[in-house]
Amino acid sequence: MTDRELAEQCLKGSRSAQQILWKRYSASMYAVCRRYFDRDDDARDALQEGFIRVFNYLNQWNEQGPLGAWVRRVMVNNALNMVKSSGRRGMQQPIDSSEEVANWDGGALMQLQAEDLIRLIQEMPEGYRTVFNLFAVEGYSHQEIAAMLEITESTSKTQYHKAKGWLRARLERR
């Protein structure tokens, strides 16, 4: 079934089409949600709420790109909304301009298995983890991240650099 056919059937209320959409994307979208939360329960809640949004707003998919890309964007936005509404404003940490993060190219990451990297990312402080995922994994610019998280571009850059330093320190311990 094509993306278009699947979306049309879901919009008509077909439970079997909704189940196909769930089966097609739930595993990869769970992985997306899991990167934003350190607890599995929070990631599962984000996944469930994200799919509710997908089904409620599927009529807004305009076929400009693949359905999976649109579903991913809904999941990321939902995860960000959950992070922001949780009351744990990890992105609002004060910026210590005297703190220098050593230049690091990330080459050590290539030595890690994907599962190890995901575990490390999940252990990051919330602000680091959120910005790292948005910039390094999702490919958003710092300007876009700042707008999404309602922080300054400078804070986004600082959180990303601190996240890299945090990862570097953990990798050096290995």
| Domains along the chain with CATH numbers | 3-85 (1.10.1740.10), 90-173 (1.10.10.10)
pLDDT of residue 76: 93
pLDDT of residue 113: 62
Q: pLDDT (tens digit, 9 = 90+) per residue, 49-94?
A: 999 999 999 999 998 889 999 999 999 999 998 988 876 444 444 3
pLDDT of residue 79: 92
Q: pLDDT (tens digit, 9 = 90+) per residue, 8-63?
A: 999 999 999 999 999 999 999 999 998 898 888 999 999 999 999 999 999 999 98
pLDDT of residue 87: 61
Residues 6+ apart with CB under 8 A from 116: none
pLDDT of residue 172: 82
Residues 6+ apart with CB under 8 A from 125: 90, 93, 166
